[in-house]
Amino acid sequence: MYVIDSVMLIIRLDNRKIDAGKGISQSEHYSLNIRFPRGQIDMTAEQAGAELVKMFPGAKFLSLATVRLRDGARVSVDGFGMPFKNTERPDVEGWINRNEPIVNGTTLLDLLAQREFNVVIPLKPSAIEFEWNDAHLPPPFSYPYGTRHQWATKEAYTKLFEAAKGKAMFRPAFR
Amino acid sequence: MNAKQQDGAPATAARPSAPVFFKDCVLVDHTGMPLVGTLSGNPAGAPRDIRVRVISARYRDSSPYIGINLRFPLPPNQASNEDAGFGVRYERKFTTAFPCM
């Protein structure tokens, strides 16, 4: 996993430059990414209700965004199940290694296995629909080599060789 | 879901703000009760050092996705991780914001 990661690092350098001198440093967190399956979710974003606003008095503007997985769709979780130990913080180790409740009886697996994700975000609904929307992502990644890589017939080779013959050819060395 | 699309504007007209967009948020359950994440506190009493963010990773050189990033605290030096033989986690520091890993 780490080897692949370092390869990605090189590939991604074009749009994310590493800060010289502090490229790699010890991580301060165990990070999990919940990835929603593209095109298989329904999203809504609306202004948060009064109850939610009351709970977060500091925030300027709150919206409630809901992501529902369509039938058969599943999220993928990056980073889940990596070996982990944290004796300094047994509570963190408990949440991650032993699936102990984090808050009000909710465990990490409960969070990840949801079919409907509700998030409160301090943004306007229009901004959420603009920024956090799978319809606005770049096209799915694929290498630009096409998908047909087999030669169906012998004729395909013959045609290719005929078409690719150069002007300067070797003199036949035997008859 | 998108108002702009319903107005007839193509989705490609949208110009996202950054290669990777992220914003702190709070996960709530279907009744609106907060679970994890912090925005000026967490009313449910969830640990404040669990950070939750929404992500829109608009990669062109790997699979783009939208999702939610959860971060749990690791102690300095990750001594217990190292002692257990799991190694120490490192992360890359980018000049442009890179929220995950």
Please state, in angstroms and rounded to a whole number, the distance separating the CA atoms of residues A136 and B11: 6
Q: Is residue B5 part of a domain?
A: no
**In which band, very low, low, confident or very high, does the pLDDT at B41 lie, cut at 50, 70 and 90?**
confident
Mean pLDDT of chain A: 81
Check pLDDT > 90 for residue A77: yes
Task: Please tell me the distance in Å from B6's CA to the nearest CA on chain A.
Answer: 12
Highest average pLDDT, of A23-32, A143-152, A163-172, B21-30, comes from: B21-30
Q: CB-based contacts of A140: which residues, under 8 Å, 6+ apart?
A: A38, B63, B64
Mean pLDDT of A25-51: 90
Phi, psi (5° rounding) for residue A42? -120, 130
Please state, in angstroms and rounded to a whole number, the distance separating the CA atoms of residues B45 and A65: 21
Phi, psi (5° rounding) for residue A93? -60, -40
Check pLDDT > 80 for residue A75: yes
pTM comes to: 0.73
Provide the pLDDT for residue A27.
84
* Helix (DSSP H) and strand (DSSP E) numbers for chain B: 2, 6
Q: Is residue B40 part of a domain?
A: yes
Substitution target in A131, A134, A141, A142 with the highest count of B β-carbons within 10 Å is A131
Substitution target in B5, B22, B35, B52 with the highest count of A β-carbons within 10 Å is B35
The least confident of A99-113, A135-149, B68-82 is: A135-149
Residues of A in contact with B98 (CB under 8 A): 16
Check pLDDT > 80 for residue A39: yes
Provide the pLDDT for residue B17.
63
Q: CB-based contacts of A17: which residues, under 8 Å, 6+ apart?
A: B94, B95, B96
Q: In A135-167, which positions are buried (b, 16+ CB within 10 angstroms) versus exposed (e)? A: bbbeeeeeeeeeeeeeeeeeeeeeeeeeeeeee
**In which band, very low, low, confident or very high, does the pLDDT at B8 lie, cut at 50, 70 and 90?**
very low
The larger pLDDT score, comparing residue A150 to residue A140, is at A140
Residues of A in contact with B33 (CB under 8 A): 104
Residue A80 structure tokens:
């889940």
**In which band, very low, low, confident or very high, does the pLDDT at A3 lie, cut at 50, 70 and 90?**
very low
**Structural domain span for residue B27:** 14-73
Give the percent of chain B with pLDDT over 70.
73
Provide the pLDDT for residue A54.
85
Give the percent of chain A with pLDDT over 90.
31
Mean pLDDT of A86-106: 89
Q: Is residue B58 part of a domain?
A: yes
**In which band, very low, low, confident or very high, does the pLDDT at B62 lie, cut at 50, 70 and 90?**
confident
Residue A68 structure tokens:
């529902």
Ordered by start, the domain boundaries in chain A are 29-79+112-137
Please state, in angstroms and rounded to a whole number, the distance separating the CA atoms of residues A92 and A85: 9
In this complex, the residue of A15, A18, A102 whose CB is nearest that of residue B93 is: A18
Q: Is residue B25 part of a domain?
A: yes
Name the residue of chain A whose CA is nearest to B2's CA. Answer: A129
The larger pLDDT score, comparing residue A118 to residue B12, is at A118
Substitution target in B66, B77, B80 with the highest count of A β-carbons within 10 Å is B66
ipTM for the assembly = 0.74
Mean pLDDT of chain B: 75
Check pLDDT > 60 for residue A9: no
In this complex, the residue of B11, B16, B61 whose CB is nearest that of residue A131 is: B16
Domains of chain B: total: 1
Of A128, A95, A129, A125, nearest in space to A112 by CA: A95
Check pLDDT > 70 for residue A8: no
Is A63 within 8 Å of chain B by CB? no
For A30, A95, A100, B53, B88, the CA distances from B91, given in Å and listed in that order, are 10, 22, 26, 17, 10
Q: Is residue B81 part of a domain?
A: no
**In which band, very low, low, confident or very high, does the pLDDT at B101 lie, cut at 50, 70 and 90?**
very low
Phi, psi (5° rounding) for residue A140? -55, 145
